[in-house]
Structures are given as C-alpha cells and as structure tokens.
Structure 1
C-alpha cells in the first residue's frame, strides 16, 4: 500500500500478457475507486500469476464506489483462452517448417517470446531478436528473471546467414503493421532479412482495431514473396490479454460496485461493458460512458459527469514534441495528395504592370510546367486590375488575388486542389 498526496493506493495482482500487471484500488475522501488496468482471468498462466480474485472479493466487501474496468473484449462472449493452449500450436508449426521461421509479436509480450524460445529449443533452432524494442525488452526481461533463455539458443541477427535456414527463428516486431517496424520492412524488401520461398511467418498477435489495412498489406506482401503466413485467423497462434464478457461479469458480481465507468476501448467496447454492468445489477444511472476529457465527480458514493475539458493529440515530430499542429498535418496531407504550386511575380508599384514573371513552379501537379502558360495572362490582368481599382493595397492582398486566380483555374482545368504559395514583389 502506498500513499500519494490525498490518495491511498492498494495494488492488486492481475493477469495480463505483460508480467507483473497490477490493478489499483484508490481510497479517497470522495470514495473508493478500483481501476483494473489491462487484465484477464487466465487460470493457467505461464508464469503462475493469476488475477487475485480473493483480494477483489475483500475489496468488494469493503465497498467499491466506482469500478473502472478494461473494455477491450467486452463484446466477446465467454472467457479468454488460456495462454498455455498456444504452446502446442507453435510447437506443431515449428515442426512442419522446412525453412526459416519469422514470428512477429508485441515486443512487450514476454510470455509469447518464452513460448517461441521453448519451441525453438525443442526443434534445435537458434533464435535472433529483430527490432530495437524486441532486443531491448527481452534483455530486460531475461535480466529480471521473467524470461528463461535456454543456453546457447540466442544468436545475433548478423550471424543468421551462417546458419542453415531450417535452424533459424527470427523473433520480430511489427505484428500491427507499423510502417517502420522490422516485419513491414521485410515485406517491402527494405530489411537485411530477405523473406523467400518456403519461409514461414507467424503473426502471433490480435488485430488492434484500426490496424487492419496495414496488417493485411503486410500479409499480402509476404505472400507475394513466397512465404507461408500463419495468423490468428487460420491457426491458434495468439490469445488476447484482455478479459472477455464472462470474466467481466464475474468481476462485477464479486465486487458489486455502486457505480461503473468502462475504460480502455472504443465506443462499442465501452457500451458492451456498460451492458454487462447493467446485467449484473448496477443501476443504469450509475453507469458512466465517458469520453477522453470527461470530468467525473465522485462524492458520497455517487459518481456523476460534471464537465468536459479540452483534450487532443500531442504530436511527436522528429525531435520536437507538441509543436506541430493539426493545421501542419493538413498542409502535409495537401502536399502529399494534391501537390504544390509557387508563383513569383514582380509588379510596378504605381501601374500594377508586371515587371517580371509570373514565374510558376509546380511539384506533383502536372507533368510539364508549360501547362500553366495559359493562366499567365489572367494573373497579369488580375494584378493590374487590383492595383488600379484599389489605390491602397498591400502585397498580401495582391498575393491573395493571385491565389484565387490560380486556385480557380487549377480546380477547373486539372481537377486538383494543390497548396498554392504566391509571392508578389513591388518594384
């Protein structure tokens, strides 16, 4: 038990794919809160560390005013499959593979990596970790005793070319289609590991919602290279690290919370979790389906929505953090999708006549800049008219004139909406 300011925190062991996962029970002046974090109720975990339901029951007896539970699998009926059922499948696939094996998983999934190491040892294969996070995390896990590495089984990726293909296993990152991860680069032919005919690739992970297109793109790329691709859809090579509906209902019945606020999931998951809470006896008015930034007030055993604070993304862009905005990203999207046009013109300050230019440069808009020749007279005329009709004018106003003329013409002629950067100088 720890005390942080006005909060007394009690930590409860829960089972998850990451070792030593913990739920947190908060005692406050306003009431008690239990947050599960990511968890499931695997009764036969590889590390022997089950979710401490006895402790949950004690907290239920003390009283849980607000229960915040993992919603990721709330719409999945029943109970999550035990991790130990994956081992035999991996062992069978390792026995069937005639060439190299590439297994992709989360770099935090120590239990899955342990199963890969065990299967590799059973079939006399060496294992190389691929991807910075995989190498770093497994080194830490081994050092702390969470990963049991058989003697002599690990090799550096630089040395795999010295081994026969049927003696190699690559434990890789990139199971979610991350563009810069090792597996994506292999599928694109942009990695030192060259995937070839007869290699077996195992995607030992679930699809995170939103990553479907990226993952299927990788699968298609690997298949084109001649690899056999095994994934959760065609073999039992992964089980979720999150509680299904049956496990959540079990928790609600043990705890009997006064209020429930589903967390960790999309709207559909939160709603499904809320229905489970309702079925278990939590009053409908005490089930809070909150968005990011929703302010919840817990007082006298009652939780209520009392406000909303503005929240958003903090973008990491190279070495800068939080400096790039949504407008910057929109500009980049326009540049990538529609192209770029710059127009540089020098005009006479008094007459508005063009002294030099317009000089038009385009990227990603048309094959030849000569396509813009017919718009040049229209730019000249628009500038002269703007100067003559508006005695007081600024270069910014004239640049907007050029932007409108070019933008209208490009939209009608080329059916494009590129970024347009006009520069007007007065001589």
Structure 2
C-alpha cells in the first residue's frame, strides 16, 4: 500500500534531501531532486508513456509541484543518457525556466538539443564525459562511464557536505559491448574506498538472476533471420537504440540489402548518432524512403519505430494499412526490444495484426533478437560488493523490482534498516552517514494531451473510459419554471449503448414526472434540474439495461 502523505520537517543546514518525483513504482518519467543549503540539483527529467486506461494521453510528466516555485534555485539538470524516459520531460521544464544548465554527454546533449529545437528552446548546455569532475553550487559532480542500450551513458557521483551519493542511471555490465565502452567498475571501487553514503541503483532487471546477455550475441541472429526472409524485412525498435540499429545495418549489408529508416524520431536520432561517430553506416546501405520504391522486397530492410505498439508509430500504422510500406505474405517483422510493463496488450495486438496480414513475426519470445539494457541480479551484487555503500535506495523500476533490488543489497551485507524502498514523493534526508525517510509527498500524474499540459485530470480519463466502454445518453428538456411546466421534451438520444432510441420511451414519463415534481418543490435552477434528470435516467439504465453509461442532461429554462 502507498504511504499516506505526511510533510517532511524543515531541512537542516548541511543535510542533503533526496526526493524522487518519478521513476519509482513505474518504468518511466525518471526524475530525482537533490537539495542542500537552499540549492537544488535535478537528475534526469523523463516521460512515461500512457497505458490503455489513459485514453487520449500522449505523455505523462513528472509532478514538479515540489519545485515549481523554486526554479531559480536549480543549479543544473544532469541527464544520465538519451532515452525518452530520462530526457523527454526536459522541454516542459525548460518552458518554465529556459536557462537551467543541462549537463550531459555528447550524444545525450545532441539528442536533447534536437528535441528542444522542435519546441523552439535554445538550451544552456554543459558537456561532460566520464572521469570529468565539475561543480554546480554546493554539488560536486563526478561522472562515470556505464554501459547501457544507448551509447555515452553516465552514472553520477554527487559529493556534498552531507556525504556522497552515487546514482547509476540505467546501466548493465556487458563485458564485450559493441562500442567497447564498459561500465567503469574501477571508478566504482575507487569511490567505494572514499566512502559512498547512499547508492541509488537501477532496479529494472533485479528480479532476473545471473547476468544480462551480451549485446554482440544479437547480431548473428539478426543476420540469420534476414538471410532466411524471402520478402521485405521490418525491424522495430526504440528510435534511440543506436546499438540495435548498428546491428541491423551490418546484418542488412552482409545480406545485400538496403536499409530505410522510418519514423521522424528514428531518422533524426540516427543522423545525430552518425554525425557524432556513434553509428557506423556501411557505404551505400542507407536509402531514403522516397527512393526505395524501385528496390525489390528481398533487397530491403525497414528500420522503424513502434515496438511497444504505440498507436501513432510506424508499425501500428502498417498493421492498420495506413502506411505506404505494406506488410504481407513472405515478409518478416522483427520486434527488437523488450516489453515495457503495461504495454503487453498493445504489443500482442500488433503481433496478432501482423500475423493476420501473413507476416512472419520474430520477437524476444521466439528468438534471441533483443537483450536488456539493465543489470540483472548478479551484476547488482557485484556492484554492491565493490562499492560497499552505507545506505541503499533502489530506483528505476516497478515496486517488485525495487524490492528485489533491496533484497540483493541486503544479501551483500547492507543492513535492512539502511535499505530504503521509496516511492515517488518519498523524502529522504542524508546526514552523518545515515539516510532516513522523513516525509511522503502526494505525487500526481501530469498528462500531456495535445497542447494541453496538466489540464487533463483523472476524472477526465474516467469519463473517457466510460464513454468508450459504456457510451452516453443525452436528455434534452425545455421547461418554464414559473409555471412549473415542461415546454418540450424530454428527448433522449443514445450513442454507443447498443440500444435504439425508442427503448428510452419507457423512461420519458418518469423523467417528466421527476422534473415537474422538483419544480413544484421550488427547484428552478437548471443545474439542479439536470441532476434530477441524471439520477432518474441513471437508475433506470442501471436497473433495466445493466449499463453505466454517461448521462448528459440538458435542461433549458425559458
């Protein structure tokens, strides 16, 4: 059960306060705020993608209510890597204060700068690399190379007067990575010798025993799948998964195929990665979509977005036959990504749709076409033994992942009372080498719906679900309140209720009687009369039709 909200005490001088605003109990919208001596440091600012029970929502942002009146106190935003769940919320934060320094690696900053350009924001950036050490206000930051499913990822050590915190960001310990850049365990060990007061570690794969498989093992599988395909090949992945795109380019080249990048974000990100030297494009392999029409199906690979079943992504549009690239008999579709929790039904719908069209669908469940970018339990255990932290706070994961991660820490000797299983909004104070939970803030979902940010509420989504699942019934009545008479109506119309309008003829006399009775009792306000109509129709619909449709009463007073 979530902890009930309770206010933290006033922050004492020299104490470091850590408050996660997203990323705990969920996979997405990662954001943590650090505060000491009146200054704030933000690490990551990502988005969460909506689930089926959040219809119409485009993105979900961290709840920055805690800091919205203190934006001038933010000394920097550190971005650990370029995935959307870590950088996607930055434009919405910078719209409130554009000159907040963004700190990150070369590729991470390039990705966020391109995103911010679309929002017409020119950011103030500070480039860092592994082993760099920089200071922002009271925060002394050191950056550590970590291996992940995107190049140029960094962990960050935060030194303050209250002690040292290490946040791993997303990481794993691939010993033979495609780019040759391994997680720097020597740096972790050195910092451990100095003394790590709080270790905040990636929890996503904490339930998985052993070690995450090597990225290099995927390449040969992709080559074999592409080699066997007689038609076109479509590979779906995240638009920022540079390593996977590299493997697809190499596999296509070896099989004499050209590659077309599909999806605006895919094209944009891979151009950035190529320009910066993080993506090696074999000569003559890439071709523009407009020039691909003359290439035979057995000589082409489409690299697309949509591996999570997103409704507007390329793969979903292919399934719905709304994209110029059509999938059918003899074609192969490779889903080269893991399932993000909550997206299972959407992905299975895509798989079923593709197979119905005649395509051969290859995914992680039936072939080794993807490995995770996150450390499994064995890798976490190595890190805890190397760092030997005084306190541990698992981050980045659903509640079950956080618990599993805490269990690994305890196995390595971290005392249970020094292991904090926090939630979004949990306030943790670090002082004298001890991390303590001192408060719990109420954290809400901030929905982005088109151009609307934060205006859509949970009540709005409940109404949308009701409309989608139960339909709506409109009841229009015109009344003369001084005489207490109905002038016109009630007229009843239904949409999505699976009943013809004449079915509601039975309830019309009851509605008229209820309105007239209310007017005789002195009710003349249209809103109050509408509530009378809503209750009368709602009871009848619930009893007779066994439905919970949305009732939309309109009472016009003349």
Q: TM-score range by the shorter chain?
A: over 0.9
Candidates 382, 387, 406, aligned match of 2:537: 406
- The aligned runs of 1:339-354 (5 Å cut-off) are 339-354=471-486
What TM-score does the superposition give when structure 2 sets the normalisation length? 0.75
Q: Could you tell me whether the CA contact under 8 Å between 2:523 and 2:529 is conserved in 1? A: no
Give distance in 1, aligned partners of 2:555 and 2:357: 53
**Residue 288 of structure 2 aligns with which residue?**
156
**Distance in 2 separating the partners of 1:370 and 1:249:** 68
Encode CA deviations 1:170-203: one digit per residue, 9 max, x unaligned.
Answer: 0011111112111122122221111010101111
Q: Distance in 2 between matches of 1:134 and 1:336?
A: 32
User: Match for 1:417 among 539, 544, 548?
Assistant: 548
Paired with 2:395 and 2:138, the residues of 1 have a C-alpha distance of 23
Listed one character per residue, the Cα deviations across residues 300-336 of structure 1 (whole Å, up to 9, x for unaligned) are 0000100011111111111111111111111111111
Structure 1 residue 366: Cα displacement: 4.0
SS at the partner of 2:507?
A: helix
Does 2:160 correspond to 1:45? Answer: no
Name the counterpart of 1:22. 154
8 Å CA contact retained: 1:14, 1:22: yes
Equivalent position to 1:166, from 273, 292, 298: 298
Tell whether 2:463 aligns with 1:331: yes
Q: Is the 8 A contact 1:351 1:384 kept in 2?
A: no
1:95 is matched with which residue?
227
Residue range with higher mean Cα deviation, 53-62 or 374-383: 374-383
Per mean C-alpha deviation after superposition, the further-off stretch among 235-244 and 153-162 is 153-162
User: Structure 2 matches for 1:23-422, cutoff 5 A?
Assistant: 23-388=155-520, 390-391=521-522, 393-422=524-553
Partner Cα separation in structure 1 for residue 556 and residue 319 of structure 2: 50
Q: What count of residue pairs does the alignment treat as equivalent?
A: 426
| Structure with the higher fraction of residues in helix conformation | 1
Q: Deviations over 1:333-366 (max 9, x none)?
A: 1111111222221223233221111122222224
- 2-structure distance, mates of 1:308, 1:208: 27
Q: Which runs of 5+ in 2 are unaligned?
A: 1-132
Distance in 2, matches of 1:87 and 1:423, equals 62
SS at match of 1:33: strand
Q: Which residue of 1 aligns with 2:78?
A: none
Deviation at 1:237, TM superposition (A): 0.9
Q: Return the offset for 1:223.
A: 0.9
Give 1:12's aligned residue: 144
Contact 1:353/1:380, CA 8 A, preserved across alignment: no
Query: For residues 522 and 331 of structure 2, what CA distance do their matches in structure 1 show?
Result: 74
State the shift of 1:369 in Å: 1.5
Q: Secondary structure at the match of 1:260?
A: coil
- Compute the displacement of 1:215 (Å): 1.1
Deviation at 1:159, TM superposition (A): 2.6
| Structure 2: distance between partners of 1:271 and 1:40 | 19
Contact 2:428 2:438 in 1 (8 A): yes
Q: Per-residue deviation at 1:133? A: 1.1
Partners of 1:293 and 1:311 within 8 A in 2: yes
Deviation at 1:77, TM superposition (A): 0.9
Shift of 1:214: 1.2
CA distance in 1 between counterparts of 2:304 and 2:480 reads: 64
Compute the displacement of 1:367 (Å).
Answer: 4.1
RMSD, matched Cα: 1.2
Residue 312 of structure 1 aligns to a residue whose secondary structure is coil
Counterpart secondary structure, 1:162: coil
Stretches of 4+ moved more than 6 A in 1?
Answer: none
Deviation, 1:392, is: 5.3
2-structure distance, mates of 1:220, 1:255:
46
**Which has the larger displacement, 293-302 or 379-388?**
379-388
Q: TM-score, normalised by structure 1?
A: 0.97
